[in-house]
Amino acid sequence: MRIHGRAQVSEARRIVVKVGSSSISGGNAGQIAPLVDALAEAHGRGVQVVLVSSGAIATGMPYLQLNERPTDLATQQAAASVGQNLLIFRYQDSLDRYDIVAGQVLLTAGDLENLAHRSNAQRAMRRLLDLRILPIVNENDTVATHEIRFGDNDRLAALVAHLVDAELLVLLSDVDALYTRPPHEPGAQRIATVRFGDDLAGMEFGSTGHAGVGTGGASTKASAARLAAESGTAVLVTSTALVREALTGAAVGTWFEAAERPEARELP
């Protein structure tokens, strides 16, 4: 089915939620618990939930005595190797309160470009969802190269939403919505709805990430939202603090309308 607006969010059967590094690492690591609360609430009403989570490199940085995100690939890979293990542990530790089991899924851009790898990933993801496992997806930073990286996990989330045929993609950050200009500037206005096909040219988006930790921003979220909307998935862009409201259809964030889906399209 196609989700036509926030009022239908509660009817979605398959949802992808993406959270950025700055929202769940460092001083914000405590946001994992309320994020899990919201995901568990949706899971409890029968929704199939996929979490796309950045944060492996940021989580691993303190254990490598790094104060800033490394710029060389080898150190990024080392930080990701340490951080991914800790990140999944923190999620599972929180999910244990709801008797929900997480499944780790690490992908590279090459996995979704290669037909055989893509088919394998799709089959595994769908089986996890059928088994009521909550997949936690991240880019496989330990083996990814600069040439084949997704660039940011907003784009990865849009591709995962298409891979699992999700009806809704929720892109979370540290800003409550997209604005016509950086939200702290005078005259900034929240963009409540972007209709499918609307031209966003000329609009000025502010950054949503904290310097030295994340790689995405509002412009990457707008681009990823467009990508998902084109494949028939509605998108909501809002803050991690508002995730529960987002998943219950409250009037928060920026809503991207999706393209029409074929009438006969069914969830597998």
So where are the chain's domains? Answer: 6-256
Assess whether pLDDT exceeds 60 at residue 51.
Answer: yes
Rounded Cα–Cα distance for residues 199 and 89 (Å): 42
In this prediction, residues 250-264 reach a mean pLDDT of 81
- Residue 247 has a pLDDT of 96
- Residue 229 has a pLDDT of 93
6-256 homologous superfamily: Acetylglutamate kinase-like (3.40.1160.10)
Provide the annotated binding site. 18, 54, 141, 153, 173-174
Task: List C-alpha distances in Å: 142 to 81, 139, 149, 244.
Answer: 6, 9, 11, 32
Question: Could you give the strand order of the β-sheet that contains 193-194, starting from the edge strand earlier in sequence?
Answer: 102-107, 134-139, 48-53, 14-19, 168-173, 234-239, 254-256, 193-194
Residue 53: pLDDT band with limits 50, 70, 90? very high
In 3D space, the residue among 215, 243, 211 whose CA is nearest the CA of residue 156 turns out to be 215
In this prediction, residues 122-144 reach a mean pLDDT of 92
SS3 174: coil
Assess whether pLDDT exceeds 60 at residue 164.
Answer: yes
Choice among 78-82, 149-153, 194-198, 233-237 with the minimum mean pLDDT: 149-153
Q: What does pLDDT average to over the chain?
A: 87
- Residue 150 has a pLDDT of 67
Which has the higher per-residue pLDDT, 207 or 40? Answer: 40
Assess whether pLDDT exceeds 80 at residue 17.
Answer: yes
Assess whether pLDDT exceeds 80 at residue 205.
Answer: no
Quick one: tokens of 199? 């031209």
Please indicate, yes or no, whether the overall pTM of this predicted structure exceeds 0.95: no
Provide the annotated binding site for ATP. 18, 173-174
Rounded Cα–Cα distance for residues 189 and 205 (Å): 11
Provide the annotated binding site for substrate. 54, 141, 153
pLDDT tens profile 96-114 = 999 999 999 999 878 888 8
